[in-house]
Structure 1
Amino acid sequence: MLVSDAAPLTQDELGCIDAYWRAANYLSVGQIYLMDNPLLRERLRPEHVKPRLLGHWGTTPGLNFLYAHLNRIIQDRRQPMIYVTGPGHGAPGIVANTWLEGTYSETYPSVSRDELGMRRLFTQFSFPGGVPSHAAPETPGSIHEGGELGYSLAHAYGAVFDNPRLVAACVIGDGEAETGALATSWHSNKFLDPVGDGAVLPILHLNGYKIANPTVLARIGDDELEELLRGYGYEPYLVEGSDPPAVHQRLAGTLDEVFDKITAIQLRARVDGETRRPRWPVIVFRTPKGWTGPKEVNGQPVEGTWRAHQVPLPDVRSTPARLVALERWMRSYRPDELFLSSGAPRTEIVDWLPRGDLRMGANPHANGGRLTRDLELPDFREYGVKVVAAGETSAEPTRVLGAWLRDVIRANESHRNFRLVGPDETDSNRLSAVYEATDKVWRARIEPVDEHLAPQGRVMEILSEHTCQGWLEGYLLTGRHALFNCYEAFVHIVDSMVNQHAKWLKVSRELRWRMPIPSLNYLLTSHVWRQDHNGFSHQDPGFIDHVANKSADIVRVYLPPDTNTLLSVADHCLRSRHYINVIVIDKHAGPNWLDIDAAALHSARGLGIWEWASNDKGDPDVVLAAAGDIPTTEILAAADLLRRHLPELRVRVVNVVDLMRLQPAGEHPHGLTDAEFDAIFTTDRPVIFAYHGYPTLIHRLTYRRHGHEHLHVRGFKEKGTTTTPFDMLVMNDMDRFHLVMDVIDRVPGLARRAAGLRQQMVDRRTRHSEYIRRAGEDLPEIRDWRWQAR
């Protein structure tokens, strides 16, 4: 690994940076431990110390050290930069630095840069009513909480895509570096365009330990680590040591070389037209865990060991010797040299820092809603398929959507603020029309047989859902728009990442200074009911359940029944802000039910009675409801059977696009009032509900509704295999024949007079099973069925 032998700092510069670092460390320790006496004007007493000691010290001094030196780079080079921290538990450091640079007090005026503000800064940390122990949304300059490890590097790359002036300094904890999500994110350099994108500076912070164990990358040796990083395509630089003055000089010299290299790479690409993929720099920063903290406690080593990970001095209130040790530790930073009697940082500590939006805590990219530009969206109505009669024609919904997305890309090309992301499935999901407007970005080798690969492009594909999600989040958090297309079953891979993003959005919504960002939009296709060819492993609609558990202010789930409704829903989602939108629809050809104007109205309502399919005349005997494209077809086919065989039965057909409309208005912003719900579904008539996913979700959304006891839901019952499309429905009892049987079983008085029809339905299911095992395909009456207006 490359090691800089430069010593660029003058003694004055070294003194300023070291003093700043000591100030940040002092403030970090104070946040973990103190609730009073912030300037140590008197000897520490137990009541000055918090009763519950929470937080993580081990990674913090290294984060503070890096923050200080990156400030010098920003100031000297006028370089816009954000600071992405994988060790999110280092929040005491990030909060301390933003307080020193002034952004924290500007954001929260009550936490002023004086003694009173310092006491509030200390008290609020990991305290009831205060701020979390992670660099959470409450932290100015943060786009990344890091409470769950593995996402920092993908977030950093997502942030710099289409941000040519921005650098994301990304600190990767050596524990985080063991996660699968992080391991794949190293490959993001194969997708970074040095012309149109900014740069990421990965800093692998090796302090040797996780909570209680050593870390792999800290123990494999420099040669192997260098081979690993070079194998990923980086140029590694090593900065290590424990003597602060020496490490200050080494890091300063290394950062000068690294930023010279980044500038040279960008100039060669932007000015000289070089197209060869560069080796971007990465820094390996090796310092002791808990650097400058207690060397030992109770005769056991602490600094440089796993014991420094969280609170190195426990039980301070109840152990006098540890209270003395805490005061000795805090005074070792010489606070009298760092802060005025008022509590404000001394001028020499902060007057060299960046100003305004150049401060990492104030960078507008870290509050991406400040920079968001609305997408230019072509009128989706112009892309609608023609519908003369319901169900008469069919279309591949996602293929039609692909044409609209193609023109979304074209309309926003000059703004460079929209990307389509997915794990190798854009073509499989039939969105390939987008390649008429753009290519897939790819900066590894391109062979003559390859299609649609180029150094620049609006489509990004890598077979890692984690990396796709991380890119997408970083892109959205910095104010741009995107769509993630994925197979329904495998989007589960990012469940934990969705959790974190949902929590980020919820908290951000409660912070006035955080501006709303573009929504996280999922298009899930190749779904459970049309994965008959891939089989059981590909059959799982549970992502909807996962998302539905999140805050009602944040999540939206859409199940468009046909192509035109999909167009309307997609347009709505790309216009929305600060949500997680999930759209689920099949990519295979399906019936067109609504013309484009009717589809737009239906989408706006979220659900509604399809009067053209109903014969209830305002007073139904039974309600047939559907949510999802395949369930809609089955409900309509069941309605057709009932109208042919039981014409006197009054049937109401209801279709649900926006799943959250089923919840009460008090539970979700999109929820129907009880009066609205009762008018549509009734309070005393059987409701047979065919649902795309697991039936229990519909019951959970509606359990407070009047007449819930009359609701019977059919959906996926975890029965699947490689079989025909219709057999998937039969296996899970959501086929049209079983739905008719459900009606007969539940409408009062119908069981006896419709016994013959019920027997026919049983026989047709049996005949279906026999036929597919002979012919290998569905019955012609199923394949060729069309809705007939009656």
Structure 2
Amino acid sequence: MSASNRFDLVDAYWRAANYLAAGQIYLLDNPLLREPLTPAHIKPRLLGHWGTTPGLNFVYAHLNRVIRERDQDVLFVTGPGHGGPALLANTWLEGSYGDNYPEVPRDEHGMRTLFRQFSFPGGVPSHVAPDVPGSIHEGGELGYSLAHAFGAAFDNPDLLVACVVGDGEAETGPLAASWHGAKFLDPVRDGAVLPILHLNGYKIANPTLLARIPHDELDALLRGYGYVPSYVEGDDPAEMHARMAEVLDGVLDDLHHIKTSRARPKWPMIVLRSPKGWTGPSEVDGVPVEGTWRSHQVPLAGVRDNPEHLRLLEQWLRSYRPEELFDDQGRPRPEILELAPRGDKRMGATPHANGGLLLRELRLPGVRPYSVEVAKHGTTSSEPTRALGRMLREVFTLNAEQRDFRLFGPDETASNRLDAVFEATGKQWQIGTEPTDEHLTADGRVVEVLSEHLCQGMLEGYLLTGRHGLFNCYEAFTHIVDSMFNQHAKWLGTHRKLPWRRPVASLNYLLSSHVWRQDHNGFSHQDPGFIDHVMNKKAEVVRVYLPPDTNTLLSVADHCLRSRDHVNVIVSGKNLTPDWLGPEEAALHCARGAGIWEWAGTDDGDPDVVLACAGDAPTMEVMAATALLREHVPDLRVRVVNVVDLMRLQPETEHPHGMPDREFDALFTPDKPVIFAYHGYPWLIHRLTYRRTNHDNIHVRGYKEVGTTTTPFDMLVLNDMDRYRLVIDVVDRVPGLGPRAALLRQHMQDQRTRHHTYIREHGEDLPEIRDWTWPY
């Protein structure tokens, strides 16, 4: 095929995609313009984003050409995800949309349905969403495309990830950090990421920074990030097609050379500068539209009521010459379809965007080899996350050949005591090293970069393309990715409802260095609120686990690594923690999610009080309070309940793990005082249990936003969750106990005062606190 014919074909495909995209925004009927447009053909509410759409269509059309010519696997990541009409148009054209939605075939009926459903009640969103074949990237929030692209490229050596980065998106913090992702890509074992920075000049109402800085400054910035940019700039379609084809061919040749060379690469990228709203109305109501911020959403807003706007819309749509693009039945003409790749090579049909199709079972070693033996409850201690690190080391070893498990974290793998993994793999690193560096290797499967956004985004991209992983982070700073978690949880919520989307491995968080053991770092590092944020999401998606010791952590982690389509949050300390349960006990307790520790309490089935706990530090304090009560009030019938799975507290009507009322009442009683020591903010427990029969008797202790640099036990005292305060609560709340336990109450108050004085003199906790073990 001659170059001119090739460009004509690309241009025709581009025009078809532009027509389909504009039609989605405006048309309710008359999809092929068989008759003049009337207001009845127009949607009553005009929604969508036109401005970025022609540029996305332009890139998609040109990528189709190189896929056909080079038989290249390409995953298309859409940074300007609000350009949903573009991806819907292209997947409909190539046929991948109809494969998944047979009710939207490639004919006039299907085109009408495609148009009508867009941003319409009962239809599809205006943004790129899980509903769109070929997508791994939610378009509702900007900033995460490039991190997702790098995550998708890891361990995918034959994959090219083409990532369109919008110039508005490029102003976000997560995207600015994401340029560094190329410094982690191994040219041999990983795929390639091709960033395509789309400079169309404007956001919603303002110019974009990168589109306004001088060319030399932009070029220096991109080269400083480690890229070699090629530029495609202009507004004349013929010239732009020729230049884009030349640049794209050169870039793919460069990538082929990089993939066969061991030298540190300078990765290519493309800068596409085109008008915002390209090919749309140039002027409306006497003001410029094309090439300005006015084309960002709907260039012609008054089409149903303004005859001039209706005339301009028809003129605009007919400028694409739809009669040349679609036959009498509304089917794309054969020459148009000739550009589209076939089968799984279509970007809308690539299995890399439906990762469950590629997902293999993760080989897991089981928990028993890494468990700690517990001859007597609570008399020995171990570091939970250190044991988990040894288990993860074996996960890396078992999956070394299939290379589909990674650990991500913001420079905290060793700090969170997971460093045993470095005996099996290193930290992936592609730039300079010094003799004092440790564990930096080109082919490592631990990714550490001090950007929680980048860690989260890479992991999301890795999971959604069919692999497994874990994100470890200091608890307080997981808040940095609150919004990213939101988007992923929403993605999974929709993804689960689409029968053609296959289940993917869960997003697993390990939150360590948590609020109760950040006494040395102080108030800035003390925040357990990520759990509250997670609990706002759909019940079928989220899970929160608070293992009280090493063996329960191993059991929970094993379960989470096997799970699918969830977000699992595990909160576990890294410091020495009492070993409460043996391996078999831990497995049973985690399977229950919540249960009575009969060996700890003294009730005979009819307790006077329930001492409940969730989290390792709260468990320690409840157990110590129980020991004090057994010593000083031996006739008091105490029940100890530990909660590992926080969702168990909800009713079964609200969460799949929730307890029926009868089970909850059996565990916590329908009418006895419940003193609940909880890892996070107390009101979450009330929120989870407010419908329960005994809710009025549930008294929760937890973090009250009181923090400082102090001792570990003082953090508990400052927040009224220490053992002495819990005993006082029991004395105050068990009917009839107050008068006969007045001396005990006084003694507990005195102990808190003694503690206060001691730590200010000695700088450490009381010996009976530091050296305490379970005495029974």
TM-score scaled by structure 2? 1.00
Alignment counterpart, residue 234 of structure 2, candidates 231, 238, 241: 241
Q: Quick one: distance in 2 between partners of 1:770 and 1:299?
A: 78
> Residue in 1 aligned with 2:399?
412
Give the 3-state SS of the residue equivalent to 2:82 in structure 1: helix
> Residue in 2 aligned with 1:17?
10
> Residue in 2 aligned with 1:375?
362
> Residue in 1 aligned with 2:127?
134
- Asked whether the equivalents of residues 13 and 339 of structure 2 are also in contact (C-alpha less than 8 Å), the reply is no
How far is the alpha carbon of 1:212 from its aligned partner?
Answer: 0.3
Q: Quick one: distance in 2 between partners of 1:145 and 1:649?
A: 56
> Residue in 2 aligned with 1:89?
82
CA distances 1:258-307 after superposition (whole Å, capped 9, x unpaired): 00000011012xxxxx2x31001010000000000000011000000000
Q: Quick one: distance in 2 between partners of 1:760 and 1:521?
A: 44
CA distances 1:389-429 after superposition (whole Å, capped 9, x unpaired): 01111001101110000000000000000000000000000
User: Is 2:172 the counterpart of 1:185?
Assistant: no
Give the 3-state SS of the residue equivalent to 2:116 in structure 1: helix
> Residue in 1 aligned with 2:253?
260
How far is the alpha carbon of 1:614 from its aligned partner?
Answer: 1.0
Alignment counterpart, residue 557 of structure 2, candidates 555, 558, 570: 570
- Asked whether the equivalents of residues 384 and 567 of structure 1 are also in contact (C-alpha less than 8 Å), the reply is yes
> Residue in 1 aligned with 2:749?
762
> Residue in 2 aligned with 1:271?
none
Q: Matches of residues 191-202 of structure 1 in structure 2 within 5 Å?
A: 191-202=184-195
Alignment counterpart, residue 662 of structure 2, candidates 675, 684, 687: 675
How far is the alpha carbon of 1:323 from its aligned partner?
Answer: 0.7
Alignment counterpart, residue 700 of structure 2, candidates 706, 709, 713: 713
| Paired AA for residue 83 in structure 1 | F
Give the 3-state SS of the residue equivalent to 1:50 in structure 2: coil
| Paired AA for residue 465 in structure 2 | T
Alignment counterpart, residue 501 of structure 1, candidates 488, 498, 517: 488
Q: Quick one: distance in 2 between partners of 1:424 and 1:378?
A: 26
- Asked whether the equivalents of residues 511 and 570 of structure 2 are also in contact (C-alpha less than 8 Å), the reply is yes
Alignment counterpart, residue 533 of structure 1, candidates 520, 524, 532: 520
| Paired AA for residue 72 in structure 1 | R
Q: Quick one: distance in 2 between partners of 1:470 and 1:686?
A: 45
Q: Quick one: distance in 1 between partners of 2:326 and 2:339?
A: 16
User: Is 2:638 the counterpart of 1:645?
Assistant: no
Q: Quick one: distance in 2 between partners of 1:661 and 1:39?
A: 55
CA distances 1:516-557 after superposition (whole Å, capped 9, x unpaired): 100000000000000000000000000000001100000000
Q: Quick one: distance in 2 between partners of 1:625 and 1:747?
A: 15
> Residue in 1 aligned with 2:611?
624
Q: Quick one: distance in 1 between partners of 2:3 and 2:392?
A: 55
How far is the alpha carbon of 1:491 from its aligned partner?
Answer: 0.7
CA distances 1:467-505 after superposition (whole Å, capped 9, x unpaired): 000000000000100000000000100000000000000
Question: What fraction of aligned residue pairs are identical, expressed as a percent?
Answer: 70
User: Is 2:198 the counterpart of 1:211?
Assistant: no
How far is the alpha carbon of 1:146 from its aligned partner?
Answer: 2.2
Q: Matches of residues 444-463 of structure 1 in structure 2 within 5 Å?
A: 444-463=431-450
How far is the alpha carbon of 1:87 from its aligned partner?
Answer: 0.2
> Residue in 2 aligned with 1:346?
333
Q: Matches of residues 33-432 of structure 1 in structure 2 within 5 Å?
A: 33-268=26-261, 274=262, 276-432=263-419
How far is the alpha carbon of 1:9 from its aligned partner?
Answer: 5.9
Alignment counterpart, residue 521 of structure 1, candidates 508, 528, 548: 508
> Residue in 2 aligned with 1:4?
none
How far is the alpha carbon of 1:12 from its aligned partner?
Answer: 1.4
How far is the alpha carbon of 1:352 from its aligned partner?
Answer: 2.9
> Residue in 2 aligned with 1:467?
454
- Asked whether the equivalents of residues 146 and 152 of structure 1 are also in contact (C-alpha less than 8 Å), the reply is no
How far is the alpha carbon of 1:668 from its aligned partner?
Answer: 0.2
Structure 2, unaligned runs of 5 or more: none
User: Is 2:426 the counterpart of 1:439?
Assistant: yes
- Asked whether the equivalents of residues 511 and 572 of structure 2 are also in contact (C-alpha less than 8 Å), the reply is yes
Alignment counterpart, residue 609 of structure 1, candidates 580, 596, 601: 596
CA distances 1:195-241 after superposition (whole Å, capped 9, x unpaired): 10000000000000000000000011110011000000000100011
Give the 3-state SS of the residue equivalent to 1:613 in structure 2: coil
Q: Quick one: distance in 1 between partners of 2:764 and 2:213?
A: 56
| Paired AA for residue 707 in structure 1 | N
User: Is 2:681 the counterpart of 1:694?
Assistant: yes
Give the 3-state SS of the residue equivalent to 1:502 in structure 2: helix
- Asked whether the equivalents of residues 372 and 551 of structure 2 are also in contact (C-alpha less than 8 Å), the reply is yes
| Paired AA for residue 772 in structure 1 | I
Q: Quick one: distance in 1 between partners of 2:738 and 2:299?
A: 73
| Paired AA for residue 205 in structure 2 | A
- Asked whether the equivalents of residues 9 and 249 of structure 1 are also in contact (C-alpha less than 8 Å), the reply is no
How far is the alpha carbon of 1:757 from its aligned partner?
Answer: 0.6
Q: Quick one: distance in 2 between partners of 1:672 and 1:80?
A: 47
Give the 3-state SS of the residue equivalent to 2:260 in structure 1: helix
> Residue in 2 aligned with 1:661?
648
TM-score scaled by structure 1? 0.98
Give the 3-state SS of the residue equivalent to 1:597 in structure 2: helix
| Paired AA for residue 228 in structure 1 | L
Q: Quick one: distance in 2 between partners of 1:66 and 1:438?
A: 38
Q: Quick one: distance in 2 between partners of 1:671 and 1:499?
A: 22
- Asked whether the equivalents of residues 420 and 485 of structure 1 are also in contact (C-alpha less than 8 Å), the reply is yes
How far is the alpha carbon of 1:254 from its aligned partner?
Answer: 0.3
Alignment counterpart, residue 777 of structure 1, candidates 764, 771, 776: 764
Q: Matches of residues 588-607 of structure 1 in structure 2 within 5 Å?
A: 588-607=575-594
Q: Quick one: distance in 2 between partners of 1:747 and 1:379?
A: 43
| Paired AA for residue 68 in structure 1 | A
Q: Quick one: distance in 1 between partners of 2:165 and 2:280?
A: 21
| Paired AA for residue 103 in structure 1 | S
Q: Which runs of 4+ in 1 moved over 4 A?
A: none
| Paired AA for residue 210 in structure 1 | K
| Paired AA for residue 94 in structure 1 | L
